[in-house]
Chain A
Amino acid sequence: MAQERKVGLLRRTSSSKKPLKEKVVLMYDEIFTKDDPAKTNPRFWDELFLMKVNLEYLEAKLESLDGDEVMLIKENLNSLFHHCVQALEEEHQIKVVNALQTLCALFRGVHQKNKSATGFDIINMLVGFDKAELRMKDLMESLDSLLCGDGSESLKSLCLKLLLCLVTVTDNISQNTLLEYVMINSIFEAILQILSDVSSRGQHGYDAVVLLALLVNYRKYESVNPYIVKLSIVDDEPTLDGMGMVVHHALTEYNRQYKDKDEERHGGFLSTLTNMVGSMFIADADEKLSVQTNEAILLALYEAVHLNRNFITVLAQSHPEMDMPTTPAPTVPTTPTTPLGTTPPSVDLMHNPELPLDPSMQTSNLLITFLKYSSIVMQDTKDEHRLNSARLCLIILACIAEDQYADAFLHDDNMNFRVNLHRMPMRHRKKAADKNVPCRPLVCAVLDLMVEFIVTHMMKEFPMDLYTRCVQIIHKLICYQKKCRIRLQYTWRELWSALINLLKFLLSNETTLLAKHNIFLLALQVVNLFNMFITYGDTFLPTPSSYDELYYEIVRMHQVFENLYCMVLRVSTNVGQWKEPASKVTHALVNVRAIINHFNPKIESYAAVNHISQLSEDQVLEVVRSNYDTLTLKLQDGLDQFERYSEQPRETAFFKELVRSISVNVRKNVSLNTLSQDVLLKEFSSIS
């Protein structure tokens, strides 16, 4: 249907040369004169809003005017705006619809033309300085009551669209001066109400959450944003849960689509064949786009996790797994490229307050879905969107790993789940069978995800930032385990070897990497992780033998550590910018080196005494076990302390950029939808 409309739309614009004009267009033209249209026709405004809106024309007309021209017709524009706001209170719903759409066009038309104009000019042009405060207050109040009232759902949807449109008219949200009025006249409560109600959440939840995420980011770092304050103190569980459900649903939808695609890709001979044939016609880029990431929803998740401490409980709130093939309703188009405005396919699932009964249903929660989502997103970080998504995922995980309550349920022995993370197909390893994932505490899945990331991203375009975050997350989790003496049954060995391989990669690409990054910081973090295990292993390792294994792994890979030491020693003795960071690594390596220097001779002599050329693992472990007592380690400072995540000042640039790209994307998608409100009009015309 969307397709059809698009076609129709195109035709309309191309045939606009025809001089035959609609009545509404004539009326628009009247507005764009200097005279007051109501002078000639006292019922002008009444009639205008009974007319079907011609958005294209109105927008185009506004665009075509330059600043001075606009100032000439300012009175009429202000009047139009004023009457739009007034019409929102009309009983006649068709008028309300038309007014909403007209407002949309006004906001956009004014902005598109006057990109250089300051925010104040725009306000003056649109509303008029003297009345701006009052008019905008009326507007926001009308929208608020429309959103919270018992009116038509389509009307509510249109209100949200208008708000989204208003919020995204500028690329940089903080430059949108009109939003000052949205700050003063908060619609936060209306958004919350939408999220707390099951049915409205199903229909408008997505838009509401995106709107909230954007509003929170308005002049975030410069001023008091009431949305931040309010979001941080919401403690109404149904509402928070509703928010979680919306995010959960969006992420689940993404996971499901990815999985379908993935299965298609690896779906056996026939599908491979069709795929091949298909790919001859479909461009490669197109395919990638089809599972585009959804940063808006991720941003909403981030803000909720970051700002609201009560939201953490929502993460663990269980829901039935929704990424089962729930036969999405074919009538609703759910192309992920246009996530806005499309009703989620399995709304009924979200409607159902009781968990549906399906024996094959796995219970899931937002955190599991998020981990799966992250595992997909992190697979490929080449394009910028995905890189941003992956970064945001890691930031969210860092926030979660710092939270005490989240840590408690991550490590809860009674909350075991199977989490099927997506793993990148790699040459040297088989695709792990999904079914064999054991049921474990959730923290294991987080660690798995981190290990997975570490081993799969050692490439030329080295994502240094992501690696740093990744290692920090592991560090935070281990700090918690040490503090609370939680002995996680986890195969730490995989982590150790992944970290050692990372060091190896850093070493072998030293020169290329050093040109862009401070590799010593990452190396220091990795070495300190080993120091955690070495000096505090007694507090969180699951078994004594796992401590032996740690030593075995270090001794086995001693070459890497020795090379690393040589390198950092070399750099630290030279004068240069890396002198200090490198010397920190040399100090951090003291225990690892002590271990290597202590055990290597012992192992060699054991081999010599027993005349064995190649020692088995058990034999090495035996040597390790019997020689602990003569080894002295140095306790290092601050190993179990970490810098807490803080958005300012380090991440501000990232978030500004992210919000900008989200704004652009949302604007693009919202425009398609506001134009296609014929359905809505039909609905109301039949009522009236």
Chain B
Amino acid sequence: MGDTELDLSPSQLEELQKSPSASSTSTTSSLSLPSSPSSGPRPFTSSSPSASDSLPASSPPLDVISEGVGELSLVIDTEVAKKACQEVLQKVKFLKVDSEPASTAVEPKLVNGTSHTDPSDGDSDGLEKPVKITEEEPSSGTVKSARRRQKNNTSKQSWLLRLFESKLFDISMAISYLYNSKEPGVQAYIGNRLFSFRNEDVDFYLPQLLNMYIHMDEEVGDAIKPYVVHRCRQSINFSLQCAWLLGAYSSDMHISTQRHSRGTKLRKLILSDELKPASQRARREVLQPPPEHSLSPSKRTHQRSKSDATVSISLSSNLKRTASNPKVESSQDEPVRLTPQREFIKSLMGIGKRLATLPTKEQKTQRLISELSLLNHKLPARVWLPTAAFDHHVVRVPHTQAVVLNSKDKAPYLIYVEVLECENFETSSVPVRIPETRIRSTRSVENLPDCGITPDQRASSFSTVPNYDNDDEAWSVDDIGELQVELPEIHTNSCDNISQFSVDSITSQESKEPIFIAAGDIRRRLSEQLAHTPTTFKKDPEDPSAVALKEPWQEKVRRIREGSPYGHLPNWRLLSVIVKCGDDLRQELLAFQVLKQLQSIWEQERVPLWIKPYKILVISSDSGMIEPVVNAVSIHQVKKQSQLSLLDYFLQEHGNYTTEAFLTAQRNFVQSCAGYCLICYLLQVKDRHNGNILLDSEGHIIHIDFGFILSSSPRNLGFETSAFKLTNEFVDVMGGQDGDMFNYYKMLMLQGLIAARKHMEKVIQIVEIMQQGSQLPCFHGSSTIRNLKERFHMSLTEEQLQVLVEQMVDGSMRSITTKLYDGFQYLTNGIM
């Protein structure tokens, strides 16, 4: 820990300098809004020109330092800033001349100074800067140990530095150099350089960074740690992500080494909640006044909103006793940053564990619903879904909507989560709880407007109670009448003209003319309305998720919103998440990263391939969460429910061959199919039965479950030898083997492969780093990476590649093993 302190000191120092004045900017930059990182440092650079004017030749080092000091200048004044700059400059020179004694003392500060260099700032300086920096930087970068090598390598390193300073140098390259370079100086430099990348960019490589931290040598770890610690201070979410990943990726180590490993230590440090923003304490003292909402997250869970009428009743002093538990008081002054979220995740995992012990789907579903309804009691709280793209607080889990997913022995489940979007989940106040029943209106005494304001008034209002729910009055305040009709709006409207009578009853008692209706009309409406309901799946107790997933997302959102006491709030959102307990999601995460990488490569190269990487949250080596793909059901469910071939299902859902809708859906199908075929080939995705392939409402297919990739395959029965899964049904949807769409499909594959090949390194890198210290089955054997590289066929010409694609398509289509595998799945798991 001792060395940690030492490493931290500069950044802490900086924090301290920064915080009182610029606390707001520092928090916004932790928000991970795309615009904020640049806006954060900008004020400092704007102030720096004045300083640099007086020191004409030394702009690069000044720039290097300008941030830390320039910030001070905002508070103090420019003269002082200039002096400070000069001082630091002196130090740098001193360092250059006599590196031996001063190195340890000054180096960190300098290193840290570099860290905040705004890349955009570097661009504006244009050509000059990199040249100049070559004089300064190598010395500072290599002070630590590699002084001897420095002389031999100066020229090479200067080129390297040129690259590092250029705007081409992105996070992917940084990670790559961090991984490949044996040069501690380079590693240290990149460690600092991490600070200058956008948070989201680095976040993508977080698994890689942490895996390197855990499993690679000391120097790499030292280079990474300051950045991680810095980010942890800024963000609870980042802290937890790190802690979870560190735990998960440390799990493959031997138990004895694991306990003392760096990863475990860092994890403990993070979870001990010591990595608070250094300024937080001070700030809290200043901002004490509104303690009710903003500060203590754990307290919130006990806080109850009382109905307005309560106030007027003279029980305030007494009820307080019941409403707030003694525990609350104790936790009030020291809010625990990480606890609420950790508890939330823990309880979700606990539910999964308990569900796994129940024998039937029905019991699991019932249990899930009841467990979630208990969970609801503790919401809203300062908790959030880490898979979401925006800041929010979870306010309610519509428990009856949750479903248990199909799995043989585990109990993954899908929940929908109502959240309220907010500026920043760490600082925004937690929403106030609204009771479940708030949506309805009732006749309870509370509704009496003047209930209990004074004893006398109460008395008078009470005498009216009997009248209140007497006949005529009661009809006019009919609860049910105020209910939103469950049917979609359009439906009621369209029905209105024909079935006016059945929608509204005739209330006027004095209607003179008797109204007649034809029995035939009633019967006809009944059958028409049943026919008009959109194709929903039938309820199947053995497959409860099918119905839930088939329902269009928008429809579901609307329905849940209507039934929610929070639904009226404008920032209400619905999210969903799959909770997996007992499953290792590290491979899924790896696959997600590769998919994401390929997606951006294809986008960059303008290849219209469509894939849908879904977010993965690894919580430990055997638990995690998955962001569900909305509006999609598995092909298995499609076939089982519709009893149609895939093509016929397309025709049923989207319309006839010639319709726009069908053609769009078909094109989507082809583009996604090509994308996933390439994915399956490159990553060797196995276990491709129809339960693992989803079909969304627009016609895309989406592969899920990357449990068997690279070197692993299920049970090694030798099934699925073909490059990817391409059944005749798929080809039929594409319009047959001779169709244009099929050619388009092959062309897309070729283009996609060429594009992927061009950026192979970016893909390999992700996989390669994760192989470090990993026992995951996908890295089984020694040739995983080599084989992966080979599948990019760097040596082939484009013509040869085309031949290869043709061969693969042919082979897959004719593949007997695919069919066999489907048959095998049908026999063993009932998957069609």
Indicate if B459 sits at the interface (CB-CB under 8 A): yes
B212 to chain A, nearest CB (A): 39
Contact present for A359 and B358 (CB under 8 Å): yes
Partner of B357, one of A359, A480, A534, A632: A359
Interface size range of chain A in the complex: 35 or more
Partner of B362, one of A354, A416, A537: A416
CB contact list, A460-512 vs B, under 8 A: 479-480, 482-487
Q: Contacts A238-B377, A544-B530, A547-B526 hold; do A232 and B444 have CB atoms under 8 A apart?
A: yes
Contacts of A355 in B (CB 8 A): 354, 367, 370-371, 374
Q: Contacts A148-B321, A632-B518 hold; do A645 and B469 have CB atoms under 8 A apart?
A: yes
Stretch at the interface among A86-94, A269-277, A302-310, A386-394: A302-310
- Cα distance A308–B462 in the bound complex, in angstroms: 16
- Cα distance A258–B439 in the bound complex, in angstroms: 39
Partner of A404, one of B304, B370, B440, B508: B440
B589 to chain A, nearest CB (A): 30
B768 to chain A, nearest CB (A): 43
Contact present for B373 and A538 (CB under 8 Å): no
Indicate if A629 sits at the interface (CB-CB under 8 A): yes
Partner of A307, one of B445, B507, B515: B445
A599 to chain B, nearest CB (A): 10
CB contact list, A253-309 vs B, under 8 A: 307-309
Q: Besides the contacts A403-B479, A628-B520, what 6 more A-B pairs have beta carbons closer than 8 Å?
A: A313-B435, A483-B483, A547-B522, A595-B519, A635-B517, A641-B475
Q: Measuring CB to CB, which residues of chain A are less than 8 angstroms from any residue of chain B?
A: 144, 148, 186, 188-190, 192-193, 196, 223-224, 226, 228-230, 232-233, 235-239, 241, 307-310, 312-313, 316-320, 354-355, 357, 359, 362-363, 365, 402-405, 407-409, 412-417, 439, 479-480, 482-487, 534-539, 541, 543-544, 547-548, 595, 628-635, 637-641, 643-646, 648-649
Contacts of B366 in A (CB 8 A): 318, 362-363, 416-417
Contact present for A538 and B522 (CB under 8 Å): yes
Please indicate which of the listed interface residues A482, A534, A633, A634 has the most CB atoms of chain B within 10 Å of its own CB: A633
Contacts of A632 in B (CB 8 A): 516-519
Indicate if B820 sits at the interface (CB-CB under 8 A): no
Indicate if B797 sits at the interface (CB-CB under 8 A): no
B29 to chain A, nearest CB (A): 39
Stretch at the interface among B45-53, B312-320, B690-698: B312-320
Contact present for B304 and A235 (CB under 8 Å): yes
> Nearest chain-B residue to A591 (Cβ)?
B519
Stretch at the interface among B130-138, B253-261, B274-282, B450-458: B450-458
Contact present for A232 and B446 (CB under 8 Å): yes
Indicate if B804 sits at the interface (CB-CB under 8 A): no
Stretch at the interface among B498-506, B628-636, B648-656: B498-506
Indicate if B153 sits at the interface (CB-CB under 8 A): no
> Nearest chain-B residue to A546 (Cβ)?
B526
Indicate if B523 sits at the interface (CB-CB under 8 A): yes
Please indicate which of the listed interface residues B401, B515, B526 has the most CB atoms of chain A within 10 Å of its own CB: B526
Contacts of B511 in A (CB 8 A): 637
Contact present for A230 and B313 (CB under 8 Å): yes
> Nearest chain-B residue to A408 (Cβ)?
B563
Q: List 23 A-B contacts (CB under 8 A).
A: A188-B315, A224-B455, A229-B458, A230-B313, A235-B307, A236-B306, A309-B437, A317-B370, A318-B370, A359-B358, A359-B359, A359-B363, A409-B400, A483-B480, A484-B485, A535-B501, A536-B505, A538-B499, A547-B523, A633-B516, A633-B518, A635-B506, A637-B505
Contacts of A630 in B (CB 8 A): 520
Contact present for B310 and A643 (CB under 8 Å): no
Contact present for B470 and A646 (CB under 8 Å): yes
- Cα distance A310–B565 in the bound complex, in angstroms: 13
- Cα distance A190–B309 in the bound complex, in angstroms: 19
Contacts of B458 in A (CB 8 A): 224, 229
Indicate if B369 sits at the interface (CB-CB under 8 A): yes
B418 to chain A, nearest CB (A): 16
Indicate if B290 sits at the interface (CB-CB under 8 A): no
Contacts of B563 in A (CB 8 A): 408
- Cα distance A196–B324 in the bound complex, in angstroms: 11
> Nearest chain-A residue to B471 (Cβ)?
A643
Contact present for B522 and A649 (CB under 8 Å): no
- Cα distance A89–B678 in the bound complex, in angstroms: 82
Indicate if B481 sits at the interface (CB-CB under 8 A): yes
Indicate if B322 sits at the interface (CB-CB under 8 A): yes
Indicate if B716 sits at the interface (CB-CB under 8 A): no
Contacts of B462 in A (CB 8 A): 223-224
- Cα distance A320–B369 in the bound complex, in angstroms: 12
- Cα distance A236–B517 in the bound complex, in angstroms: 50
Contact present for B529 and A538 (CB under 8 Å): yes
B221 to chain A, nearest CB (A): 40
- Cα distance A353–B470 in the bound complex, in angstroms: 42
- Cα distance A233–B365 in the bound complex, in angstroms: 33
Contact present for B507 and A634 (CB under 8 Å): no
Contact present for A309 and B444 (CB under 8 Å): yes
Shortest 3 CB-CB distances between A and B: which pairs?
Answer: A318-B370, A644-B474, A189-B318
Indicate if B323 sits at the interface (CB-CB under 8 A): yes
Q: Contacts A193-B322, A405-B439 hold; do A233 and B373 have CB atoms under 8 A apart?
A: no
Q: Contacts A236-B322, A310-B437, A547-B522 hold; do A480 and B506 have CB atoms under 8 A apart?
A: no
> Nearest chain-A residue to B316 (Cβ)?
A189
Contacts of A413 in B (CB 8 A): 539
Contacts of B362 in A (CB 8 A): 416, 439
CB contact list, B640-674 vs A, under 8 A: none
Contacts of A637 in B (CB 8 A): 505-509, 511
Q: Contacts A229-B451, A318-B370, A644-B443 hold; do A402 and B466 have CB atoms under 8 A apart?
A: no
Indicate if B305 sits at the interface (CB-CB under 8 A): yes
Contact present for B400 and A415 (CB under 8 Å): yes
- Cα distance A33–B389 in the bound complex, in angstroms: 84
Partner of B442, one of A190, A403, A409: A403
Partner of B469, one of A317, A641, A646: A646
- Cα distance A229–B485 in the bound complex, in angstroms: 33
Contact present for B474 and A486 (CB under 8 Å): no
- Cα distance A409–B400 in the bound complex, in angstroms: 9
Indicate if B738 sits at the interface (CB-CB under 8 A): no
